[in-house]
Structure 1
């Protein structure tokens, strides 16, 4: 079995995902392999070639086509990783659908939920079992992923929930968006809030079942908040970017967690921001984003 480290990054053609690949390629060893994934074959191939040519690149970089909304494709990739390499060592689930403030939230709900949530659930289910001992599986979320960001009426759907229950809550939310009943039930108009809470809840659900075994083998399953990052996806939502990080800066902090020699038990299964866990029950529902969506 190949004992070199295998890393996989989703949504890696540009922005934070691309920076994560570049950082891994620079910080891993020459015998290690970084898989840069995205939906478009040409963009994936070009991006992998560009990272390979960077002067700081040490590890091997390969482009792999992966549409994270294709659950069967994720399952096939997991099986391929198991068969070829005995599993995977680093999984960074980073893919997100770009959404602009002027776009209809309800019209884009299916795409947004499929990319951010259904894909996250599938990655946890399929790639979690092939994560090698000592590995890292991180879902890129945000500080909006704490339970306090939701109306208290919705807390019971995610607090202490199993992965099946999180999936059910997400599908109920999706149905309510389409039925026009979501706001009356307490769901925020901005899709990103419940989506991020659900992502973190899914990670917590999986981590709760794996915790003892993973900590015994130095394995980390967690969500991560990279902080404000100046990307094409996030820029339209904020008027002040003076404190924003470049993708490379944000990636560096995430990779410090990924490549830490030892796993801090206080980080396991949590939402991590700059190396510290955020309070799952903390936060308040954001109002500014909903204000942006008010006609």
Structure 2
């Protein structure tokens, strides 16, 4: 079967990743293919089967095992898709690890950072080169990913940084966590905050290098914030979910961006929430979130 367009979503067994695959499979065409990826083969197969068998599915759906913490595996899949299909049209880096308030942040740091940040870096490095002109590559982040959510002492680590420098900053943060020096250096106690800022900084770094070529071609590289989504990853952290979106509802704005024929050039390299750019320098250090760790 000849494939017209290829879309790939990481961390797609459940939550918003699964909802994005469902939406892509329903809104793309019968000659297109959506790749649902995750670390657990059994869960990947089950999730892909559920989407493929759903009444609204129009596109071909295929489950693929992909551990985003394995940069070699990410690179190999990008090369394979590039050789087989001539590139990819939509890439969503969505994988994240569970973070809970009942365990110390340092105990959870390595796995969380490896998935959320190492995985983001691997996806940007490997799938950027095989993204077709006019394609879309987005990293699912958070409104916490703006620079103002960090202590001003840390801003220089991420503002205007290259991808290599972002990776170095993330490693420095991880080292500080294990050395017990993170707080005195200004890092928030809640891992999610520096992780999201680093994700957006990584997107900005890659976008800065590609902007002159991508924007005229209609290609988009950006970070997206789907808002507060009712999933098992967010449930432990927020007491009030009355305003939270279900994964399918949260996925809609992201899908609209991914599948739009034309995107606003102002979106390129930015953090987008509900069709608007969140200013990179906005935000304030989230002391309330730190209190969650001691409540």
TM category, shorter: over 0.9
Inter-partner Cα distance in structure 2 for 1:3 and 1:96:
29
Q: Tell me the alpha carbon deviations over residues 236-274 of structure 1, each in whole angstroms, 9 at most, x when there is no partner.
A: 100111100000001011011111111211100000000
Distance, in Å, in 2 between the alignment partners of 1:239 and 1:82 is 44
Give the RMSD, CA atoms, in angstroms. 1.1
For residue 294 of structure 1, what is the aligned residue in structure 2? Answer: 294
1:182 counterpart residue number:
182
Aligned length: 295
Separation in 2, partners of 1:112, 1:2 = 38
Q: Tell me the SS of whatever aligns to 1:35.
A: strand
- State how far apart, in whole Å, the 1-side matches of 2:118 and 2:184 are: 24
Residue 2 of structure 1: how far off its partner (Å): 5.3
Aligned equivalents of 2:36, 2:170: Cα separation in 1: 28
**What is the CA–CA distance in structure 2 between the aligned matches of 1:229 and 1:292, rounded to whole Å?**
18
2: distance between equivalents of 1:158 and 1:64? 33
Q: What is the Cα deviation at residue 88 of structure 1?
A: 0.5
**Contact 1:215 1:263 (8 Å CA) reproduced:** no
Normalised TM-score (structure 2): 0.98
Residue by residue over 1:187-233, the C-alpha shift from the partner in whole angstroms, topping out at 9 and shown as x without a partner, is: 00000000000000000000001111111111000000000000011
Decide whether the 8 Å contact of 1:2 with 1:86 is kept in 2: no
1:42-81, aligned counterparts within 5 Å?
A: 42-81=42-81
With structure 1 as the length reference, what TM-score do the two structures score?
Answer: 0.98
1: CA distance, partners of 2:165 / 2:266: 24
The C-alpha deviation readout for 1:156-203, integer Å capped at 9, x for no partner, is 000011111101100000000010000000000000000000000000
The answer for unaligned runs of 5 or more in structure 1 is none
Answer yes or no: is the 8 Å Cα contact 1:25–1:34 preserved in 2. yes
Unaligned runs of 5+ in 2: none
Q: Which residue of 2 aligns with 1:196?
A: 196
